[in-house]
A = this chain, B = another copy of it.
Amino acid sequence: MKTRSNIKDIARLAGVHPSTVSRVLNPATRSMVSEALAVEVLRIADELGYRRNPLASGLRTRKTFTVGIIIPDLTNPVFPPIVRSAEQTLDGAGYIAILADSGSRERSEREIIENMRARDVDGLILATAMRRDPVVDTCIEQGIPIVLVNRTVSRHHVPAVVNDDELGIELALKHLVELGHEHIAYIGGPQSTSTGYGRYHALLENAEKLGLELDNELLINAPAFSETAGAETLNGLLDSGKAFTAVLTANDLLALGCYDALRARGLSCPEDISITGFNDMPYVDRMDPPLTTLHIPHDALGVKAAQLLLARIENPNAPIEELRLAPELIVRGSTARPTIAS
């Protein structure tokens, strides 16, 4: 394995001291060196295909140009676009991304963060936040720069990039109301997450604002944002015997679970029951029926999260921003006017 050239090699060829080379190679200190010499050193460096070893310099400077990204489950389709856009943004700034899939386990999450910290990451992007999240607390205590994405915590004021859930719920609810639905059920998510919690409360508030009476027994927060949780919850609702013509869900996977439950009972969507999702994950436009849902700008989420983190790495005292990006209602085939008067 041909060994890479280092600063000493360049120094030898240029007939100068390694520290001089270091100064040339570092834009911030380049001006300390005579123009002519700098040019010569750069020429040699280029000729040798020199690349600074960020680990070695990081050892000295405590700056590794490395950022950790932790997500709960890469196979959940909302995360790939976030990770990709964050990674590319970081890459553009000369950083690399260490990716870890925590599998939603807090223990492994702690482990992961410890490991990353040991590697002197400059900051962390967390897509795993719970409303009360000891792991986030720890990061803050230890002063390691973090940005939360997709979800946030309830206690501290932490840099975060999230969707505007109030707006999303408002758009979905208005849509159903405008179609003529009067008996609307809601399937939400775990109240331990900011999205589950926020969307549920947004629903209550918006219903009130619209003067819409919701039946409390038709408002269920599922234990997980998953297809099975969605199916089971809708089954429960259907078994209750209560009448409703539409289900507003807090997540596309829940909505897909509703599809399953309906199909299993020989009901059809949207003829018997309208369904709305939340996220607009890839390919829901191709499903049967195409899902009416809220489009979240996942790419922008990732880009913004990366930018926020970079800003805080470069200036730890940068103001703590919490960005809420606006979702957009995408009307497709899973919602329609309720059939006949009930």
Chain A residues proximal to chain B, CB less than 8 Å: 1-2, 4, 51-56, 58-59, 64, 69, 73-75, 77, 79-81, 83-84, 87-88, 91, 96-101, 103, 112, 114-120, 142-144, 256, 259, 282-283, 286-290
Of the candidates B59, B99, B118, which one forms a contact with A97 in the assembled complex, judged by CB atoms under 8 Å apart?
B99
Who on chain B is nearest to A81 by CB? B75
Q: State how many copies of this chain the complex holds.
A: 2
List chain B residues, Cβ under 8 A from A1: 142-144
The answer for the CA separation of A2 and B75 in the assembled complex, in Å, is 35
List chain B residues, Cβ under 8 A from A290: 288
Cβ A55 vs Cβ B59 within 8 A: yes
The answer for the CA separation of A2 and B99 in the assembled complex, in Å, is 24
6 A-B pairs closest in CB distance: A288-B288, A1-B143, A99-B99, A51-B118, A74-B84, A74-B80
List chain B residues, Cβ under 8 A from A101: 84, 87-88
The answer for the CA separation of A114 and B38 in the assembled complex, in Å, is 23
Q: Knowing that A75-B84, A80-B80, A96-B115 touch, tell me 18 more A-B residue pairs with CB under 8 angstroms.
A: A1-B142, A4-B117, A51-B115, A53-B118, A53-B120, A54-B119, A74-B81, A75-B81, A77-B80, A87-B100, A87-B101, A88-B101, A91-B112, A96-B100, A96-B116, A286-B288, A288-B288, A288-B289
Cβ B77 vs Cβ A99 within 8 A: no
Who on chain B is nearest to A290 by CB? B288
